[in-house]
Structure 1
Amino acid sequence: MLRVSLFCMPLITLAGLMAGQARADDVQVAVAANFTAPLQAIATAFEQDTGHHVIASPGATGQLYAQINNGAPYQVFLSADASTPARLESDGKVVEHSRFTYAIGKLALWSARPGYVDAQGKVLAQGNYRHLALANPKTAPYGLAATEVLEHMRLTEATASKRVEGQNITQAFQFVQTGNAELGFVALSQVSRDGKLTGGSAWIVPDTLYSPIRQDAVVLDPGAGQVAVEAFMNYLRGPTAAAIIRSYGYALDARAQ
């Protein structure tokens, strides 16, 4: 299984130490691969503001779910969907009433080549490419969304021999970034910052072509009663995190604002 490690340097403010701030603790976070970069930014701000440290383990949502069920000591789960945290609730593995939607994801068809993907995504139907990357739809919600787009556009069969699947959205992005696939379905957050592409060319897929990617957060049993965990969840719902989440191209749940 592909595993990506994320290490965030702990930052403790001198002011916090002088004020006799409560002991800094680690927060063990299992995070959907698409949210890795935003979490890094949020973690840095959180650590500066509170002294608590975030230790993140990114992966495909389905893989993280399996790890949690197998006893992985994660305290917080930032999923790429809403259904997986709901299943964990049903399994009795989460803190009651801790679940909420922290972001709503957006899908993009992207190529590392400037000008390759047109603004309407017509390149997808034209078929002048050998490989189309996407995340595994069985374990990654963004991969499932990609298959919904293909089905909606009646391109499921036409693209079947061209599709290459990554274990998660990060690997799908890497296939395109390295040129091993001419284009692929990625999270908009991977290729956009502050409303602008960071490189290449992309079609932002209309959200009418796939089911809403509501990404839910939940406190897992190992995080119950932990001060640092509660502080992180509150921070995730606060204005600093909200600004970072929006800057990476996500929408926020209007019900949570």
Structure 2
Amino acid sequence: MKIALLGYGKMGKVIERIALERGHEIVLRKSSSTTFEGLENADVAIDFSVPSVAVENISTCINNGIPVISGTTGWLENYHEMVQLCESKNAAFLYGSNFSLGVNLFFELNDYLAQMMSKFKEYNVSMEEIHHTQKLDKPSGTAISLANAIINHTDKNNWAIENPKADDLFIDVQRIENVPGTHSVLYTSEVDFIEIKHVAHNREGFALGSIVAAEWIIGKKGVFSMKDVLNLNSK
């Protein structure tokens, strides 16, 4: 498989190493100082760039018929625009707020717990998200995915990272050196609390998941998620 890496920072370099270990070839390493030259040789593109260029990266791939996997967060106000473009071009696009196998299982657990806890109004739900200081968006895309699932099943209407209202889901966002990613969901009552937590030890899981997604999407058309890759939609 020939891969175009769109974004060649820390994540891009980890993806490159694991891709090469799995027998794949890197035909483009796109950074802020390089062009898309070589994209036409790719079987698939993996985008781990920055929010300001994610839409350009994704749309360029779709317009050139290159399946694209995007793990960049912080640009989702344009997500539906990219979905419409993908559908109009009969292309292939997969966005994931987190490609870790463990996190995607955590998403499922969070969704199930939110449904169950919605019956018990004595518990108030909140979240905590911790990442390294280089992360640009607050809260993380993973935290937003978790929050949206909770909002869908509870009487919370929105999420907030400061000055939450009574019907807001509060997300305590922290930025600490060398933390790959920690996400917690807490249900608190006067007598006890219930907590579920996912702690990433390094970037390896995110990188591997994106490559598995890239391997999976070859030959497919449509808009997908990691639920499709991991066959979690049939639960």
TM category (shorter chain) comes to 0.3 to 0.5
- TM-score, L = length of structure 2: 0.35
- TM-score, L = length of structure 1: 0.33
